[in-house]
Structure 1
């Protein structure tokens, strides 16, 4: 099997000469499709790259620990010679982004970090949750997805859920952080906000009136755009 740092995991979304770079890290399922509109907006001023999850291509191994995921993201960036100005992630992608930013900061690179309704707490999926989430992700693969591709997505998701169940963010990040908090579920929103305030001394908060699984939909991007532009341009 190929290593999880294979260069094919890096997906250039917008690239125009020598400019600061944004790296987008996906949530559950590991794909990047829902970031395309966001990439177009960010690409007006920056080069934009996505890093898909390992295991979505035949022959790749999956990962089931957040530290390993962050390590492999850093290696993908190193292999491409990219030092990101911004790291952005939705849901689990934000958790991986946090750990990635910590690793980059240790070598003197301190990117701005954008978290889209990510939780710093470990997460134990309830009965049937994995199947429910797989159905949501599977809908993005089209009405007749390739069986082998669907099986790979399932394996990636299973590894991600294992990683989330074992992980809790505990290390402070001193760089700039923008946190988008969804309106629902309200109890989780308040717990997450309180924790991120402790972990991020330079935190900007922005609440979005959508649920967790809607925030990344293209039609909800206008709710993020002004706050994102303000944060990145200061």
Structure 2
């Protein structure tokens, strides 16, 4: 009697730009797990890197979300397989996960460059109103008539991610090179930017910081892309195209 074939879960590693024999860049998404905000930046980084992203767990049928930053970091490393990143990039939640990834990579003798955009190393404190506002933004990004099952998975994933951020505080230093880009807006994209910045400076002895004239949720829009890529290129020592 033949045993039923077990389907393998879909890979969480998404290829954004493949460049043979180029160093690896991995991008980690913000809350909700969508990768669309990264596509323009991935194209820019693809001049020098093979660019991958690790999608959030919980976005496909039958896949549970992860509710701790440690679990997200470990599964992202697992998704990379034998690819050793030279650059880790994360925005918001993704920056926090990227930090934990790099701490673990440092334990293994690797120190990739790390770029964090508007993330906090401190526990997230948010009201129900804050969460509802963010939930609407995430669901709104799914299009005008998203499938109800897709919406349910995205909402469940966001709740797990919010829980993970509420229970997380970065404790260990990362000895590699890091760039922290903070947004200038006064909304609650992340709370306590000044305190967060102070803590990042304590944790990262080789940290460069800059401020972006953009809001937390529009930092990847075309009108802000030149400033964002300029800061990243300067940190990485990449020449700007004329």
TM-score for both structures, normalised by structure 2: 0.90
1:169 corresponds to: 170
| Structure 2 SS opposite 1:85 | strand
- Cα offset, 1:49, TM superposition: 0.2
Report the Cα distance in structure 2 between the residues aligned to 1:217 and 1:156, rounded to whole angstroms.
24
| Structure 1 SS opposite 2:193 | helix
Deviations 1:25-44 (A, max 9, x none): 00110111100000000000
Q: Is the 8 A contact 1:66 1:163 kept in 2?
A: yes
Report the Cα distance in structure 2 between the residues aligned to 1:46 and 1:7, rounded to whole angstroms.
24
Q: Is the 8 A contact 2:88 2:115 kept in 1?
A: yes
Report the Cα distance in structure 2 between the residues aligned to 1:25 and 1:6, rounded to whole angstroms.
19
1:207 corresponds to: 211
1:82 corresponds to: 83
How many residues were matched structurally?
228
Report the Cα distance in structure 1 between the residues aligned to 2:43 and 2:149, rounded to whole angstroms.
31
Say whether residues 1:26 and 2:29 are aligned partners: yes
Report the Cα distance in structure 2 between the residues aligned to 1:137 and 1:217, rounded to whole angstroms.
16
Aligned pairs (5 A) from 1:79-228: 81-185=82-186, 188-228=192-232
- Cα offset, 1:233, TM superposition: 1.8
- Cα offset, 1:218, TM superposition: 3.8
Structure 1 residue runs of 5 or longer lacking an equivalent are: none
Say whether residues 1:50 and 2:82 are aligned partners: no
Say whether residues 1:64 and 2:60 are aligned partners: no
Q: CA RMSD in A?
A: 1.6
| Structure 2 SS opposite 1:184 | coil
Report the Cα distance in structure 1 between the residues aligned to 2:146 and 2:42, rounded to whole angstroms.
25
Q: Is the 8 A contact 1:180 1:207 kept in 2?
A: yes
Say whether residues 1:38 and 2:45 are aligned partners: no
- Cα offset, 1:212, TM superposition: 1.7
| Structure 2 SS opposite 1:211 | coil
TM-score for both structures, normalised by structure 1: 0.93
Report the Cα distance in structure 2 between the residues aligned to 1:82 and 1:14, rounded to whole angstroms.
14
Most deviating of 39-48 and 210-219: 210-219
Rg larger in structure: 2
